[in-house]
Structure 1
């Protein structure tokens, strides 16, 4: 059979699979993003800390072994996971970080056809979904002091007027509902914001500055169910809720996810047609501070779901708590009878924690397996992460994604964005989701054996000036001076111990890959005209373009 005929056959079979999936109503979608969880942290990837709920997701769905975060650091990955474009696409390759910076979706938006960076939330709203973002943001925004002056100096964030809330937040970029920590549990403001408005932990307290206080590095006993810690205030005190308790973050956020599902399904019961939802859940775990609660049900008077002390160390206790958060969300879906038609993704924002931070209570636990490097590194350990997808009841006959399958396809976490474009049959604009390719052919078992889903991917270290290009099994590292410094063949050297860049037989390959990298990633971040790295999805006209 010719290559053309093989390609046509693949398209036909993929079309049949999509038609079969289309016999179901559009699924709910839950995207769960862990923080600092490495390739070897989860049980099905070799981890020794108990993660039964996440392991069950893998057994009932598909696990990827060559998946990568868009960057080796939190904030840049978070922009990409919401837009389908690499971090450098908005001229802010290092990420937006805290709310003294403007929104990453608005910055340099005039350089795109749409005048902004379209998020996956907007894509799903266009398809009729109700959308929610719950958890850690690190996406920038606008906050003001008591005189109404915009704060852009991080040192002045503690002068923020909490009663004014946060502007240009995720609600202005595709999410009907939001609840979370604007900068996670490690940066101010140490408080929760719902739809951009400050919501005190104690609902009886006023949502203004009278319910806040200044916090310094150290421990705080603010409740009975754990010990709170502030780790990043340093010499400048940070402002937070008087009842802020880092040990309760996972409980508060996962409870918020359950409440959103409750409200959505209750609203659906009043409609003749069921409206699906997208829940983007960005857990605080397992980022520092590692302050697990005593009891995951929030009531330490009777410890029914112990967390602190379960694994023997606070780091691994928080990893265990992450699994409890996942389990709570899944249990809610199952209790409501919607789990079987919910497409669930699980991944991490970057690679494993550094050894001096990641002190696990189980000696045999290796959070990075054979990989070199950790969080912020350009090497595999900095960005190779767990990636699991489930859609179905976990049985062969009742699942769209064949259960207990493993894919060795090279993918990037942001590929879930193009997957949802294809799922909802929406055309992708040329200047949006510029680096995302749909996973549906793989998830539906229709990708031809041995055929790569992607021709190449780009990697970014924590320092945005250091990058790499991966083509097949070859990885070329390019430094801040645009020089090729390292070349590895992962097929024989997954641990990246043998640098081939200086060997004469690789000279032409090094030159070609370096040129290719620089074609797609302009280090000057001034032109915004780098070409797409993937093809824009075209749906043969089902739903219209986004405005």
Structure 2
């Protein structure tokens, strides 16, 4: 479990404006170093199933001027990762600042009675304890029952959905666009899908991404004179693919009906980012607010035709190839970070916890979270991490600099005809740990970013070293909290393998 250790500082409680440091030591001599910026407000915007290659500054033809401007005004990461290749485990790691496997949150939950273990403190808990006003607007996906509700997990305010997916608008309304049309949703009926304002279920008729943007702006307006932590998880461009005329008009150059609707959803997300930055600017908060933009995992491959891209990376959501967990990742803090820089070091969304606490004047005690600030400021040439890890047991992967290794279960199940990534019938997967053994792949990402050539046989010493590292890491992890019931198939260098999520 994480804890906070203040650096001989006393943080004023209630509505704080600054951190006051007290010390019995003699005053240090005057320094020529620039004074540290004041503790910032923190705003995190998490796209949902957004492809690495679906943002303008990462090479997309989809217009994303506001996200692109964040990159020009801040630092863009090219090797930034999330801790899982699917939604809920990523969020469990993101909200706690540690590998979610340490407490058993291994897969997307299929049982809505499950929730983020109550003995796990969230980043919001720590900032709430430190006097920040905390808000979550959008997707939670860490438990529907009341004990797991965001208002019990460190957030002062919540507006959004408790589950992993919902509709954006009633597709029967004029001016709406859906793909495929036969899957177009009309209502929100499940407990996990309904929109909640705190604990109260509310009806929302407008396009949901726009409503989430309005609520984000409202939060900033109401708390402009306080220090705040605002988590924005608007659920777009996750399926169902739904857009409205306003956004479709801007993506007519995109080919493919599904890809065009998806692109319109990305445009709506970009407008959302623009609204948030404009609200900060209106209140003269932009300089002293740390804004982070990233995706929760790579984009999907299981629609009737391709709709998105993780190019130049291989793999998609659910995969432990780079396209499953390397994501668009941008940090902007005018008072505390350089502008217009590109950072190539190996970094993780888990690092945001330590980065936020360091910026705010206290320390994070997490075995997995690294303060990114000195790395992004060019104060050290060392990367934040020597190793990064992923596990959806029994499949497991590791990064070590340019090296990437993935150990994934073999299967004799035939890949069904039709689109890739089809979900297998619900049952316990796997029935045994790895009954048919595993395929081990090793890639040199400097020479083969697209993970096309398996060179494991050529570098047995690297495979052996990485297997030792994985064994040591796995010894620190908990057993999964539930048995996985979902899987899909993939042909990996001629071998059919099974993914678990």
Q: TM-score, normalised by structure 2?
A: 0.75
Map 1:410-489 to 2 at 5 A: 410-429=346-365, 433-448=366-381, 451-460=382-391, 463-480=392-409, 481=434, 483=438, 485-489=440-444
Correspondent of 2:64 among 51, 75, 78: 51
Aligned to 1:183: 163
Partner of 1:292: 243
- 1:321 deviates by 0.7
Distance 1:495 1:21, change over 3 A: farther
Instruction: Measure, in 1, the Cα distance between the counterparts of 2:92 and 2:66.
Output: 27
Alpha-carbon deviations, 1:95-153, whole Å to 9, x = none? 4467x2332142xxxxxxxxx112111221233211101101111131xxxxxxxxxxx
Check whether the contact 2:295–2:327 (CA below 8 A) recurs between aligned residues.
Answer: yes
Per mean C-alpha deviation after superposition, the further-off stretch among 251-260 and 42-51 is 251-260
Shift of 1:28: 0.7
SS for the counterpart of 2:125 is helix
Residues 92 and 105 in structure 2, CA contact (< 8 A), matched pair in contact too? no
2:248 is the counterpart of 1:308: yes
Deviation of 1:224 (Å):
5.2
Task: Report how many aligned residue pairs link the two structures.
Answer: 409
> How many angstroms apart in 2 are the aligned matches of 1:402 and 1:494?
27
* Aligned-residue offset at 1:225: 5.6
Which residues of 2 match residues 332-481 of structure 1 at below 5 A? 332-354=279-301, 356=303, 359=306, 367-392=309-334, 399-429=335-365, 433-448=366-381, 451-460=382-391, 463-480=392-409, 481=434
Unaligned runs of 5+ in 1: 1-15, 107-115, 143-165, 192-200, 202-218, 269-274, 295-305, 361-365, 393-398, 529-547
**Other-structure match for 2:471:** 518
Partner of 1:170: 150
Partners of 2:79 and 2:292 in 1: CA distance: 15
Asked whether the 8 Å contact 1:34–1:349 carries over to 2, the reply is yes
Q: 1:291 to 1:21 in 2, by over 3 A?
A: farther
State the SS of the aligned residue for 2:369: coil
Q: What is the distance in 1 between the residues matched to 2:480 and 2:143? A: 22
Instruction: Give me the whole-angstrom Cα distance separating, in 1, the residues matched to 2:477 and 2:283.
Output: 50
Aligned pair partner of 1:256 in 215, 220, 244 = 215
Kindly report the root-mean-square deviation, in angstroms, between the aligned alpha carbons of the 2 structures.
3.1
Which whole-Å CA distance do the structure 2 matches of 1:407 and 1:369 have between them?
18
**Aligned position for 2:97:** 84
CA gap 1:358/1:29 in 2 versus in 1, 3 angstroms: farther
Query: What secondary structure, in the 3-state scheme, does the structure 2 residue paired with 1:498 have?
Result: coil
Q: How does 1:150-229 map to 2 (within 5 A)?
A: 166-186=146-166, 220-221=171-172, 223=173, 226=176
Change in Cα spacing, 1:523 to 1:487, as seen in structure 2 (3 Å) is farther
After superposition, the C-alpha distances for 1:307-334 in whole angstroms (9 at most, x for unaligned) are: 1332132111101111011111111111
Higher strand share: 2
> How far does residue 290 in structure 1 lie from its aligned partner after superposition?
1.5
* Stretches (4+) displaced over 3 A: 16-21, 95-98, 223-234, 236-247, 355-360, 480-484, 522-528
Aligned-pair CA distance for 1:261: 1.1
For residue 457 of structure 2, give the secondary structure of its aligned residue in structure 1: coil
Within 1, Cα distance between the matches of 2:59 and 2:47?
Answer: 17
Aligned to 1:196: none
Provide the C-alpha distance between the structure 2 equivalents of 1:514 and 1:18, rounded to a whole number of angstroms.
Answer: 48
Q: CA deviation at 1:169?
A: 0.8
